[in-house]
Amino acid sequence: MIDFRSDTVTKPTASMREAMQNAVVGDDVYGDDPTINKLEAYAATLTGKDAALFVPSGTMGNQIAIMTHTKRGDEIIVGANSHIKNYEVGAAAVLSGVSYHLVPETRGMLNLDGVKQGIRGQDIHYPDTGLICIENAHGTGVVGSLEWMQAIHETAQANRIPVHLDGARVFNAAVHLNVEVKTMLKYTDSAMFCLSKGLASPIGSMLVGEKAFIERARKMRKLLGGGMRQVGVLGAPGFIALESMRRRLKDDHTNADYLAQELDKIDSFTVNGDARDINMVFVTTTLDQEKLADYLRTHDIIISASRGETMRFVCHNDIQKESIDKLIDAIHRYIKKEAHHD
Ligand code: TLP
């Protein structure tokens, strides 16, 4: 199966499976898992933060960050199109008891004036602003600039509000910006990034930040039931993801460029050229998405047809240039077949 739905679908590589088999493990709730300790130390060094915490998912990482930074009744400033707002089941309201102050994004970047207006200051009627959340790379396939991150951070610091980065794909963003992740993270107090997306580890994300923040976050992870035992079996592929798989993300971006170029040649597809910074290609199509997806599945190709007008194709470690050629060829055959039916 060639699966274009997301980079979350990546299977662990052979060396990851071998590392899982041979992982030295211990009880991580006691802090006794050497493989997790090594992964957390490496993640902290790589991101220029004091400490790191391995968490089961990106969603849990973001939610632990919100729980740790805020108190009940706070308001968090967050993008109207962000994952934290739209795709985390409203968890911040449920788990942290915070409300969302939505700010529009332009190319994935929170509007600075909107953030400034969103910090409402002191009044007996107002909730306190507990946190500003940004997302980079943004789920809409775009990467925000360092200058924008710096401007948000300066505003936040001037108001003594922490900034959390949902950096599920921060390594993709760093590749696009041609900087190190630690350069981006200078402008955030905490960040979550996923090992299980383009980095191809089967499970897990990291939360990074100051030592005291991570200590409190570790307790929040336990509260949520995310304290795991011999979890080095997941830390071992996670280390390979961080140490070596991040170096190949550029290939996914190049493949996505190729996919965008080939889809754009087909009359029934229009590529959104403004959302072409990372490993994702967003298109609109005049074709019936469900029928196309059903046809492709019979040719061992999976695409997602559930995003309304817009379709998303994602390149990753299990997609090569030949996989893209197969997809394009199958789409041509589908269009020909449909024309015969008419
Ligand atoms: N994104 C998934 C879906 O949930 C949409 C995907 O296929 O892209 N932040 C961002 C920006 C994300 O894109 C995701 C996952 C998460 C957080 C959550 O990570 P997980 O799935 O590990 O909870």
- In sequence order, the 6+-apart residues with CB closer than 8 A to the CB of 57 are 196, 203, 204, 205
Contact present, 145 and 109 (Cβ < 8 Å)? yes
Neighbour tally for 171: CB within 10 Å:
27
Q: Per-residue pLDDT for 341 more than 80?
A: no
The mean pLDDT of 107-128, rounded to a whole number, is: 97
- In sequence order, the 6+-apart residues with CB closer than 8 A to the CB of 199 are 171, 241, 242, 245, 246, 249
For 251, the 3-state DSSP assignment is helix
| C-alpha span between 60 and 95 (Å, rounded) | 11
Q: What is the separation, in whole angstroms, between the first and last Cα of the chain?
A: 30
The mean pLDDT of 161-175, rounded to a whole number, is: 98
- The average confidence (pLDDT) of the chain is 97
How far lies 152's CA from each of 122, 159, 263, in Å? 20, 11, 36
Model pLDDT, residue 309: 77
339 pLDDT tier (thresholds 50, 70, 90) = confident
81 lines ligand 1 (CB under 6 A): no
Model pLDDT, residue 307: 60
Q: State what percent of residues in the chain have pLDDT above 90.
A: 96
305 pLDDT tier (thresholds 50, 70, 90) = confident
Question: Where does residue 166 fall: left (phi above 0), alpha (psi -120 to 50 degrees), or beta otherwise?
Answer: beta
3 lines ligand 1 (CB under 6 A): no
Neighbour tally for 127: CB within 10 Å:
15
- What the block records as the tokens of 300 is 């061992």
Q: What is the pLDDT of residues 244-277, one digit of tens each?
A: 999 999 999 999 999 999 999 999 999 999 999 9
Atom of ligand 1 nearest to the CA of 87: 4
Q: What is the pLDDT of residues 307-325, one digit of tens each?
A: 677 899 999 999 999 999 9
133 lines ligand 1 (CB under 6 A): no
Q: List the one residue out of 109, 200, 305, 287 whose CA is nearest residue 313.
A: 305
Model pLDDT, residue 290: 94
198 lines ligand 1 (CB under 6 A): no
Fold of 248-341: Aspartate Aminotransferase, domain 1 (3.90.1150)
Q: Per-residue pLDDT for 298 more than 80?
A: yes
User: What type of residue sits at position 6?
Assistant: S
- CATH node for 10-244: 3.40.640.10
Q: What is the pLDDT of residues 195-214, one digit of tens each?
A: 999 999 999 999 999 999 99
51 pLDDT tier (thresholds 50, 70, 90) = very high
Ligand 1 centroid, distance to 140 Cα (angstroms): 11
How do beta strands 99-103 and 75-79 pair? parallel
Domain ranges of the chain: 10-244, 248-341
Q: List the one residue out of 54, 48, 51 whose CA is nearest residue 23.
A: 54
Atom of ligand 1 nearest to the CA of 196: 22
Residue to substitute in 7, 87, 105, 312 for testing ligand 1 pocket (most ligand atoms within 8 angstroms of CB): 87
| C-alpha span between 252 and 303 (Å, rounded) | 17
How do beta strands 163-166 and 129-135 pair? parallel
Atom of ligand 1 nearest to the CA of 194: 22
172 lines ligand 1 (CB under 6 A): no
205 lines ligand 1 (CB under 6 A): yes
49 pLDDT tier (thresholds 50, 70, 90) = very high
